[in-house]
Structure 1
């Protein structure tokens, strides 16, 4: 405790106390499973928007993005330049589907569109991938707590998980949202202090940019058509756009925030927050990593995720390590609480309520939600232990692991929205084919004499998704033939339904019908163009 300092401990403890207080305050309005899963549905859109940002921009980004840029330079930013395109698609196509359903789980849509088997399979895929994400998030925070306090990494994992479980089980989604707002504020304050000191350090910005350009670290737009390299423009605009559409549009953890909005306009505005702010945030994180490369003269680190902490410690600013520890803890707890809440929601809505207790009381579903929250927290702990000691950027590693699942997920929702002839039997065959194809491409198949293909991980979503679509369409035609009418839960089918039933197509100036583009959403395309122009200019500096 002496080494960390009384002031630093005071900052961390004060933050933890405020977080617990928010959870207890939010618990007063949790009287049913719906309250636990979607809150009061009266939260302001800006709070939901901050929550969307904070959930994805977690400790993985705070530690991993600078570590990634330290090694790969600003080229890695290409992976994160696509947020305007991603949000454009999500708020136009997918979000209206889920919001209009009124269900807490996005996988209920799949049952309406295809059947209960598809709903269950995709929910299981989400839960499997999400618990891995939860584990990696905790490990990112344990890097910090071990570094600044000396607490054993395994003990740190237990403490952080227990704290998050406590306020998430009590306060539900509303506690998650409001703690996200606090946690985002602390996270960006910590990053701001680091960036300010780097910009006002011994190396002027123009000289730092000159050194980065000489080292080949300033090129943000790598236009090489090389599928073995992860951070290229083609991977960022093509493959990673599809990846992030899945993360934001076909992921219970993210969509659940929009489902908690009081109307469709607030749901869309919450997502527009990320569409406009996402690139700026990641640019600043990657810029920190690039400037740290200059500061440390490119010296390699055994644990790259500690680079930003080592720099902060060297500044010897009173309270800074406490602020950073609170920032990392806040980012971790933000993402982790959202993850546990969404896992519990999916467990209850898609399995417990659907198969085991269809006519239960609100009280039963509420206690089941809290029980599943605890269960997923416990399950995540041994997985977290397995992540301890992994090398490289933890942000890059997590994104690479997640890319195995997104192809099948995105193709399923895409076929649901825009395919007339897809059937459930054909789709399930396609999902299996997606994973088999990807496994053969990545790992090879010795019995068949097939060697692994050298392809960068961003393209896994394209490979898996393409296999899913091709096999699904073929299998559906062979098993059931063509369909004469659009299904009610496709985009064309929804449009026909709104016309046929005379339903209002807009609410407070925002489209309720999937596939209709709202005026503010068009601005995302303009913003994407400005991002490309800025990066083209940025890499000429120095």
Structure 2
């Protein structure tokens, strides 16, 4: 196992120290909860836009997207193509709503609409989504650093996790945003550097990459037929629209940033800046995955180490012969996430390697720190102040935020450790986020769009929606005896069907209640 040269280790160490110093610098301003959670509304819109872009550009993108493109094609890029429509809905409806309400939490209004249960349910879904997100990102960063250093993934997560906790707890949302601005730039430069090195190492250059990619259908966006069983163009487009609508419309990571700007216009412009940057940069990562595929397809002897590493994780404790036999059966989809770390180990020169590792770390740290801050805010406002102590002094508020931020950072780290051994970091994130976010988004849309829907209809719709989500998620594991009860749809449709179930059932129940009331009034008049 090759380890990082001393120069690269010093660069990575310097980056971690710099992040902690950023937290110390901004800690001087964090004397109130308003400053810690909203930066007193003084962050410029362009900085918010880049920070939103950096939040999207996590290690799931940096490692998961090239790995996905390597193992399949550009089908997942359709997720990015869905962003403009979701951004339009968010800027037209959601941002004005949040700014006019003045509530720092995205979920307070659900209690006003449907009662305390709705707010609590949405908060639980959000916190579970954040743990899934942070866990998958911890896993992604550990996956790459393990290949580079040889240290156990759990040890890597602990070291990186402690650094993130320190600068996030000390610096608050302002430290998170400004470090994300820097991290967004570093991430993009790192991706461009790796892409250049792959193309430069490829015999035949760009022409050969295109030739290999076309021969293996690597540039496909998926089938355009109305197929919802496999990951077709339409499945990813629908999933992407609903997931991005959840991100821009009710994810506390984003909603909290809308309050850090000076106006509605600045908040809206930050979303569009995020979209304009992220779409081409996400395409860059898919191109990188296709280039890596062409490189290793042209040099198949280099895949032995990658396949053996993947087989060792799939068969822990197995004999060398058993691992070698398993490795010979693996497909590109089975080891795609390990390809880019391997390329970095073998092809990236010293010095530059440290900068790229710092870029991957910054991609992970930006999203995790954002999730920690948002989770702590939601816990403080929607749980602690709602159920335990509504009136807090500035000192008490800060203590709750500090403790909650630390706790969620550690829980995210433990979630990442629990994910060790999964095949695709992008797949596991999409599955978990779809499960938790669909119920939350469906209830939110019902509350915003249908003003006549009351508590009883919303609660009934949510219960029915949860039953559907549980069935969609777990029915594929049923035995052959109950095969007819299995969910036939692709797993990404959980987000779509779950959201629509809650929303449409709620609308239907509202309409039936109105019709029943009208019939009762007619009968009363006839009497």
Please show how residues 474-489 of structure 1 align to structure 2 within 5 Å.
474-476=508-510
Please show how residues 23-38 of structure 1 align to structure 2 within 5 Å.
23-38=23-38
Separation in 2, partners of 1:169, 1:246 = 26
Contact 1:81–1:236 (Cα < 8 Å) also in 2? no
Contact 1:164–1:333 (Cα < 8 Å) also in 2? yes
Residue aligning to 1:497:
none
> Is the partner of 1:384 in helix, strand or coil?
helix
Please show how residues 425-464 of structure 1 align to structure 2 within 5 Å.
425-444=456-475, 450-464=484-498
Q: TM-score, normalised by structure 1?
A: 0.84
Residue aligning to 2:102:
102
Separation in 2, partners of 1:449, 1:296 = 39
Contact 2:446–2:507 (Cα < 8 Å) also in 1? no
Residue aligning to 1:365:
397
Deviations 1:277-305 (A, max 9, x none): 22111100010001111000086742422
Separation in 2, partners of 1:467, 1:181 = 38
> Measured at CA, do residues 161 and 8 of structure 1 come closer, stay the same or move farther in structure 2, by a change above 3 Å?
same
Contact 1:83–1:274 (Cα < 8 Å) also in 2? no
Separation in 1, partners of 2:516, 2:391 = 37
Q: How far is 1:114 from its partner?
A: 2.6
Query: Structure 2 residue aligned with 1:377, among 387, 404, 409?
Result: 409
Separation in 2, partners of 1:45, 1:320 = 32
Separation in 1, partners of 2:516, 2:400 = 42
> Is the partner of 2:385 in helix, strand or coil?
helix
Please show how residues 521-540 of structure 1 align to structure 2 within 5 Å.
none
Residue aligning to 1:182:
182
Moved more, 264-273 or 71-80: 71-80
> Is the partner of 1:40 in helix, strand or coil?
helix
> Measured at CA, do residues 316 and 344 of structure 1 come closer, stay the same or move farther in structure 2, by a change above 3 Å?
closer
Contact 2:113–2:454 (Cα < 8 Å) also in 1? no
Residue aligning to 1:350:
382
Q: How far is 1:145 from its partner?
A: 2.1
Q: Which runs of 5+ in 1 are unaligned?
A: 485-542
> Measured at CA, do residues 369 and 479 of structure 1 come closer, stay the same or move farther in structure 2, by a change above 3 Å?
farther
Separation in 1, partners of 2:276, 2:214 = 27
Residue aligning to 2:211:
210
- Tell me, yes or no, if structure 1 residue 253 matches structure 2 residue 238: no
> Measured at CA, do residues 234 and 2 of structure 1 come closer, stay the same or move farther in structure 2, by a change above 3 Å?
closer
Contact 2:74–2:218 (Cα < 8 Å) also in 1? yes
> Is the partner of 1:456 in helix, strand or coil?
coil
Q: How far is 1:41 from its partner?
A: 1.5
> Is the partner of 2:485 in helix, strand or coil?
coil
Q: Which runs of 5+ in 2 are unaligned?
A: 311-334, 519-527
Separation in 2, partners of 1:338, 1:135 = 13
Contact 1:135–1:383 (Cα < 8 Å) also in 2? yes
Separation in 1, partners of 2:430, 2:171 = 29
> Is the partner of 2:72 in helix, strand or coil?
helix
Residue aligning to 1:396:
427
Please show how residues 5-404 of structure 1 align to structure 2 within 5 Å.
5-201=5-201, 202-220=203-221, 222-230=223-231, 232-297=232-297, 301=307, 302=310, 303-392=335-424, 394-404=425-435
Residue aligning to 1:508:
none
> Measured at CA, do residues 286 and 2 of structure 1 come closer, stay the same or move farther in structure 2, by a change above 3 Å?
closer
Separation in 2, partners of 1:482, 1:49 = 48
Which runs of at least 4 in structure 1 moved beyond 6 Å after TM superposition? Answer: 445-449, 479-484
Q: How far is 1:483 from its partner?
A: 9.6
Contact 2:26–2:174 (Cα < 8 Å) also in 1? yes
Separation in 2, partners of 1:13, 1:245 = 37
Separation in 1, partners of 2:365, 2:344 = 21
Contact 2:197–2:348 (Cα < 8 Å) also in 1? no
Q: How far is 1:482 from its partner?
A: 8.1
Q: How far is 1:358 from its partner?
A: 1.2
> Measured at CA, do residues 304 and 195 of structure 1 come closer, stay the same or move farther in structure 2, by a change above 3 Å?
same
Deviations 1:335-374 (A, max 9, x none): 1110110110000010111222112112111111111111
Q: How far is 1:124 from its partner?
A: 1.2
> Is the partner of 1:297 in helix, strand or coil?
helix
Deviations 1:48-78 (A, max 9, x none): 1111011121011100000000011123322
Residue aligning to 2:328:
none
Separation in 2, partners of 1:150, 1:482 = 67
The alignment covers a number of residue pairs equal to: 482
Residue aligning to 1:495:
none
Q: TM-score, normalised by structure 2?
A: 0.87
Q: How far is 1:480 from its partner?
A: 7.7
Contact 1:438–1:464 (Cα < 8 Å) also in 2? yes
Q: How far is 1:450 from its partner?
A: 4.8
Kindly indicate which of the two structures has a greater share of residues assigned to helix.
2
Separation in 2, partners of 1:84, 1:246 = 13
Separation in 2, partners of 1:216, 1:186 = 31
Q: How far is 1:329 from its partner?
A: 1.2
Q: How far is 1:473 from its partner?
A: 2.8
Moved more, 297-306 or 101-110: 297-306
Separation in 2, partners of 1:483, 1:311 = 67
Separation in 1, partners of 2:294, 2:276 = 29
Separation in 2, partners of 1:209, 1:283 = 15
> Is the partner of 1:39 in helix, strand or coil?
helix
